Copies of this chain bind each other. A is one copy, B any other.
């Protein structure tokens, strides 16, 4: 079990604040989209250059910088400089093994969240790190892949009548948090459906395949719990601790988001407990089947062993075996065998083995 060289462990010897992208590459290219809006105006810029970023950083209207893909260290450093982010924050943004947390840097709030998304390539669920920076008039969002998680929110902002246009960056931050929380529901539903199907299967006809399914569901439950529990803490802290960057009118929406995440975690714990019960069920079913198989074997063996023995006795070649000479010897032997078999069956019947 010697330690392997390479990867995450290698970054540990670097001084704090060094920008190194840690994690799998989820996006081929890094995309940046800026949405700058107030009640009346809306401006969209895709893949801005450095000068544009600095310009938007100074705008008094609400600016949302949406970054997809985290391996472009220079871009993050450029954003960090334009918006005045602490080096440790920049380091955490590109290190995708963060735990959900909220940190108050006075001028801005730094939030790490984790979404649970379906990965089409791996054909499996995965956890993706979402970093949010909420400043006095801007929101920066960083995600690992191009998953269209925040697209519906961009759509709503483009609508002149949406609540976003009348609200500050705190309402936008709430919407992004809510979108992250909502992305747990599809995974939950898959889990719920599979759990119920599996339960029926285990009660009626368990197979080794059920065990693998059970194991996969436990893995999904663990993933949801690992990402969701600290997310719950983060959203709860936002609602309770009264950060100044969130206005009171947004607080009630945060409570709603908190309710959702509590509901998610309740359901996850519930499914996990159901899965634990199902493993017991599976093992009991296997035991029962083994028992049934053993009973069949025992009954067959117990009936035919004495019969074969009797046949063996009358197959012996002794010269003086008077029974062999009797005309009714053969039918009598068969009758004896039938009696033995019948007695056995009666005994098993009384023992409730049949």
For A186, what are the chain B residues with a Cβ–Cβ distance below 8 Å? 3-4, 9
Contact B189 A9 (CB under 8 A): yes
Which of B185, B212, B219, B300 makes the CB contact (< 8 A) with A9? B185
Contact B315 A321 (CB under 8 A): no
For A203, what are the chain B residues with a Cβ–Cβ distance below 8 Å? 212, 215
For A16, what are the chain B residues with a Cβ–Cβ distance below 8 Å? 178, 253, 256
Categorize the interface residue count of chain A: 35 or more
Q: List 28 A-B contacts (CB under 8 A).
A: A1-B124, A1-B220, A2-B118, A3-B187, A7-B189, A8-B185, A15-B162, A86-B252, A92-B259, A99-B259, A215-B277, A215-B281, A218-B277, A222-B273, A222-B274, A279-B280, A279-B284, A283-B283, A287-B290, A297-B297, A304-B305, A304-B309, A309-B311, A312-B312, A315-B315, A316-B330, A318-B326, A321-B330
A216 at the interface (CB under 8 A from B): yes
Q: From A57-65, A76-84, A240-248, A262-270, give the one contacting chain B.
A: A262-270
CA distance A255 to B308 in the complex (A): 77
Closest chain B CB from A316 CB (angstroms): 4
A313 at the interface (CB under 8 A from B): yes
Contact A152 B316 (CB under 8 A): no
Nearest B-chain residue to A91, judged by Cβ: B256
CA distance A301 to B295 in the complex (A): 13
* Complex copy number for this chain: 5
Contact B319 A255 (CB under 8 A): no
Of residues 37 to 57 in A, which have CB atoms within 8 Å of B's CB atoms? Answer: none
Closest chain B CB from A150 CB (angstroms): 11
Nearest B-chain residue to A191, judged by Cβ: B1
Known: A293-B294, A296-B298, A312-B312. 4 other contacts (CB 8 A): A208-B288, A226-B266, A290-B290, A318-B326
Across chains A and B, which 6 residue pairs bring their CB atoms closest together, nearest first? A311-B312, A12-B182, A3-B186, A314-B316, A304-B305, A297-B298
Closest chain B CB from A28 CB (angstroms): 23
**Chain A residues within CB distance 8 Å of chain B:** 1-4, 7-9, 12-13, 15-16, 86, 88, 92, 97-99, 101, 103, 118, 123-125, 152, 156, 162-163, 178-179, 182-183, 185-187, 189-190, 193-194, 199, 203, 205, 208, 211-212, 215-220, 222, 226, 230, 252-253, 255-256, 259, 262-263, 266, 270, 273-274, 277, 279-291, 293-298, 300-302, 304-309, 311-321, 323-330, 333-334, 337, 352-353
Contact B287 A283 (CB under 8 A): yes
Contact A190 B1 (CB under 8 A): yes
Contact B252 A189 (CB under 8 A): no
Closest chain B CB from A25 CB (angstroms): 18
Which of B211, B302, B324 makes the CB contact (< 8 A) with A300? B302
CA distance A219 to B274 in the complex (A): 8
Contact A253 B88 (CB under 8 A): yes
For A4, what are the chain B residues with a Cβ–Cβ distance below 8 Å? 186, 189-190, 193
Which of B190, B205, B255, B291 makes the CB contact (< 8 A) with A103? B255
Which of B266, B274, B293, B325 makes the CB contact (< 8 A) with A291? B293
Contact B1 A125 (CB under 8 A): yes
Nearest B-chain residue to A211, judged by Cβ: B284
